[in-house]
Homo-oligomer: A and B are copies of this chain.
């Protein structure tokens, strides 16, 4: 590894053009500067200075070294100064969650970013297993999941309840079992699970969603209600996904006698102190998930 002290002497020398004055600038002796440059040359195995008597000019390697070293030295000294800082409204925060939460949160987090432009929101939609994996591998900072993670590296705490809703086309007044079976089921990646939870608690006729007539499928959370609004079937979805659907006139969300909700968990790396900006974003998320 290049010795950065020698490198700094070399760069200062290039700027000052004078060994003695460089030494003064760096609070050392001329001899020291001379040795630093020579050691650098020895280590790199290249001439850096073309010496012409007491004058010198830069060799090709010297030019290159100086040009690139400046950036590196600057980065190093910036790092030294800023490493202790922990600004709550600056830097990138990487989140990952299943679609329904994301649909709810992402717009609010973007509006947080427009208030604090240095706070960069990186939000990815993915199913639970991907979320916990990403947290464990530290490729994201904050995750939301609809089930507790089983991984040791992931710490999960409940932060909200997501109501599950039965959604039919707006034309359906009373969603009795007969009506649902006639309509057919619009499925999504968690569709079977959600349907089991909500319909199992509200319809004695329910056995398993695989017995439904299946009328469609989408893994694009924002699009699942599209076929429902066209009268093509019914779906079971978290409330957040329903709220975010734009063509709300085409659909009807039904209040069933036995409400069912899923717990939403906040997932962060266990045993790692979060930086201030993460807490900023978590606070904002809680606000909107509970409000």
Contact = CB atoms under 8 A, between A and B. Distances in A.
Interface of A: 1-5, 8, 44-46, 50, 52, 55, 57-61, 63-65, 68-69, 71-73, 75-77, 79-80, 82-84, 86, 269, 271-276
A76 B271 contact: no
A84 to B, nearest CB: 5
A2 B80 contact: yes
Contact of A80 (B5, B44, B82): B44
Contact of A57 (B4, B84, B272): B272
A63 B275 contact: yes
Given A57-B272, A60-B276, 6 more contacts: A2-B80, A44-B83, A60-B273, A60-B275, A68-B79, A72-B75
A1 B76 contact: yes
A52 B83 contact: no
Given A2-B79, A52-B271, A60 B86 contact: yes
Nearest to A84: B46
Nearest to A48: B83
Nearest to A8: B1
A204 to B, nearest CB: 50
Contacts of A274: 60
B273 A57 contact: yes
B1 A59 contact: no
Contact of A45 (B2, B45, B84): B84
A100 B256 CA distance: 82
A38 B52 CA distance: 45
Given A60-B273, A64-B275, A1 B55 contact: no
Nearest to A59: B273
A195 to B, nearest CB: 40
13 contacts: A1-B5, A1-B77, A2-B76, A4-B4, A46-B84, A50-B272, A57-B272, A60-B86, A60-B275, A60-B276, A64-B275, A72-B75, A72-B79
